[in-house]
Amino acid sequence: MTTFLGMPATAPRGVGNLRGEQTFPEAAHEALANSQMRRNLRHATTTIRGKSGKVIAELPDWQALRDAGSAIKADVMSRLPDLLLELEQKVTDAGGVVHWAADANEANAIVTRLVRETGSDRVIKVKSMATQEIGLNEALEEAGIAPVETDLAELIVQLGHDKPSHILVPAIHRNRSEIREIFLREMPGVDPALTDDPPVLAAAARKYLRETFLSTKVAVSGANFAVAETGTLAVVESEGNGRMCLTLPDTLITVMGIEKVVPTWQDLEVFLQLLPRASTGERMNPYTTMWTGVTPGDGPQNFHLILLDNGRSAVLADEVGRSALHCIRCSACLNVCPVYERAGGHSYGSVYPGPIGAVLSPQLTGIEDNASLPYASSLCGACFDACPVKIDIPSLLVHLRDKAPHPRSERAAMAAAAWLMDKPKMYASAQRAAKLARIAGRRGRGLPPPLSGWTAGRDLPEFPSQTFRDWWAAR
Amino acid sequence: MRIALFATCLADTLFPEAAKATVLLLERLGHEVVFPFEQTCCGQMHVNTGYQKEALPLIKRYVRTFEPYDVIVAPSGSCVGSIRHQHSMVAAKHGEAGLAARASAVGERTYELSELLIDVLKIEDVGAFYPHKVTYHPTCHSLRMTRVGDKPLRLLRQVRGLDLVELPAADQCCGFGGTFALKNAETSTAMLADKMTNIVSTGADVCSAGDASCLMHIGGGLSRLRTGVRTVHLAEILASTES
């Protein structure tokens, strides 16, 4: 029996954090003027790049591991429905409850209902991209439930009424004196004599979080991986806050993008090597927490897994574009991206910044809503080389640009150029005409839009006295 | 050897010296260079800006023009990368399986200049003389799409009189990226600013590269800042001799 469930839908508007209010060039205009942020970003990405490069160089089989990671992900995408059904069965068998959420609205409604059923008006949160994506914190607050981020960087972002600007290091755009100010202003019970010494700041956050961990009965997490064969969920993290949330509360609610499933435990072996080295430059992440349903007397006694689509099926439907779903959120592509390093994460307008965001966000929302993102790259290819699961981001960008809506004047100019370039004789005449017209004028300054962007910072070359083909013909 | 030159639209129109130097260098090394007049542009600008359908006739033109030749050279790592990796991809995507196969075959015979010299002609010392302090920007597409590796540097190291100085953060993009420089002009300029700072820090008189496009961008910035540093295509350095 087959059931038609409708065409895959993109992520709905008006909820979540996948769409910016500005185009990338508009948002980047503001970010580029923020010299403090650019210094913070450059320092942080340079440091991570160095660390990561060093530990990757230790592995003789890094390229083979990348191939393996890529192959496992391609296999997962080719049989995603079956794997998800297997996962649902195994989680249910182990005492968990599985919910399916078609989009952000459904997922937020399910989590809100589940929290309300516990009677709690506060949840502790493990750092999670999926819940940022769907705007869960905003939805919970609207329902009168206080979400408390427990990842240090996410906490800084939350207290600063800010948005994350990096997948892994959400507060990468902040320095320690900015963090001190945020803590003094927003952290309940903070010592007014707080200094900007990193250990002092960390101790302040620890004290605040410890109290919160011990007094909150419900936790919300994301998942880095879900193993279909046993129904096991996994979260990898560095601070241990995640493990507190995953073990202390009575109720645990996990929101997971459907692409996070892997077939077997053996597949985890590959990703647990790839992820920390590509991501934080560590040989192994400090905390790997895994849980399978409910274990009586140990850990949360109620476990809910929400399988989130929110546009993923639409991405999966594109044979080329679907490889964006291979992403394991390591952020290696952000750390090597020269565009990200200058423009910062907020310019991408989505919870997924950087190169992977430029290909993932427009696919999740529909390209019309994020049409400037595939162009937020110089196609330098550094992201492809850095990606631990070998996502060919430059090719994806080119693929999406081909689908993006184009400005009418650009379309006309490109069509005219192609037409002319397909006629060598007319092309040669045009080359000579352009030289005579001296469109460059005044040493190339002050060209009209869209060429004005060039002459704002660069001189145009002088037209040579003779084209190459004329030189060749005259030889 | 008989070698067909793909001059690239940019070198043909704006930087003929790079294409001329390619011809003079190969002829000096005893090879015959032919320039098929039917050539124009590889179509990379169209593909990379999101106009694959418009690029298709240009891809067909490239394949038709260069199919008769066994060895094709272009003084551009970027165009060669596009020819090798994008032509067959675009053709296949637009239902032209036959063209895709032909494009792959022609793409395999299309070489970037330093590849042609080292891999095909098996020569590292081309007998050049260039008495200047030079730093080399490897260009992203040469590095990551065409994978020329250190071949340009190996060639430069053999040039007499040339003082090669290492460029800090050499593998970082200069910010050109074709229409990226127009669509995201401010980000592009910020990337260029860092590239220029690195170039100037080397104390070199000349910044060289294997792509006229990146050199146009870098050169335009260096000129605006009146740094006095010149941009010179790799081919021009290799073609340069004492006499």
Torsion over CA: A181, A185, A187, A189 (sign)? positive
Q: Across the interface, do A25 and B219 touch by the CB < 8 Å criterion?
A: no
Q: Across the interface, do A338 and B86 touch by the CB < 8 Å criterion?
A: no
For residue B21, give the chain A residue with the closest CA.
Answer: A468
Total CB pairs under 8 A between chain A and B = 187
Residue A322: DSSP 8-state = G
Q: Across the interface, do B173 and A453 touch by the CB < 8 Å criterion?
A: no
Structure tokens at A164: 């994350």
The alpha carbon of residue A279 is apart from the nearest alpha carbon of chain B, in Å, by: 20
- Tell me which residue in B17, B55, B172 faces A338 most closely, judged by beta carbons: B172
Q: Across the interface, do B35 and A471 touch by the CB < 8 Å criterion?
A: no
Place of tokens 């260079």: B33
Q: Across the interface, do A464 and B47 touch by the CB < 8 Å criterion?
A: no
Q: What is the pLDDT of residue B227?
A: 94
Query: Residue type at A218?
Result: V
Q: Across the interface, do B187 and A467 touch by the CB < 8 Å criterion?
A: no
Torsion over CA: A166, A169, A175, A180 (sign)? positive
Q: Residue B47: its chain A contacts at CB < 8 A?
A: 398, 402
Res B96 pLDDT > 90: yes
Q: Residue B14: its chain A contacts at CB < 8 A?
A: 461, 463-464
The 10 Å Cβ neighbour count of residue B62 is 27
Please check whether residue A72 is in contact with residue A267, taking contact to mean a CB–CB distance below 8 angstroms. yes
Rounded to 5 degrees, φ, ψ at A223 are: -150, 135
Structure tokens at A119: 């009677």
Please check whether residue B66 is in contact with residue B110, taking contact to mean a CB–CB distance below 8 angstroms. yes
What is A141-203 written as a DSSP string? HHTT-EEEE-SHHHHHHHHTT----SSS-TTTT--HHHHHHHHHHHSTT--TT--S-HHHHHH
- Alpha carbon A474 to its chain centroid, in Å, reads 55
For residue A444, give the chain B residue with the closest CA.
Answer: B220
In sequence order, the 6+-apart residues with CB closer than 8 A to the CB of B133 are B163, B165, B202, B203, B204, B205, B206
Q: What is the pLDDT of residue A1?
A: 46
For chain A, which ranges sit under pLDDT 50?
Answer: 1
Report the alpha-carbon distance of residue A329 to residue A256 in Å, rounded.
13
The alpha carbon of residue B147 is apart from the nearest alpha carbon of chain A, in Å, by: 11
Q: What is the pLDDT of residue A224?
A: 97
Report the alpha-carbon distance of residue B138 to residue B174 in Å, rounded.
10
Report the alpha-carbon distance of residue B18 to residue B214 in Å, rounded.
13
Q: Residue B57: its chain A contacts at CB < 8 A?
A: 418, 422
Q: B43-81 pLDDT, tens per residue?
A: 999 999 999 999 999 999 999 999 999 999 999 999 999
- Tell me which residue in A398, A404, A468 faces B11 most closely, judged by beta carbons: A468
Q: What is the pLDDT of residue A160?
A: 93
Place of tokens 């704002």: A456
Beta bridge partners of A304: A97, A253
Residue A286 preceded by cis peptide, ω within 30: no
Q: Across the interface, do A464 and B183 touch by the CB < 8 Å criterion?
A: no
Q: Across the interface, do A385 and B144 touch by the CB < 8 Å criterion?
A: yes
Please check whether residue B197 is in contact with residue B218, taking contact to mean a CB–CB distance below 8 angstroms. no
Report the alpha-carbon distance of residue A399 to residue B49 in Å, rounded.
10
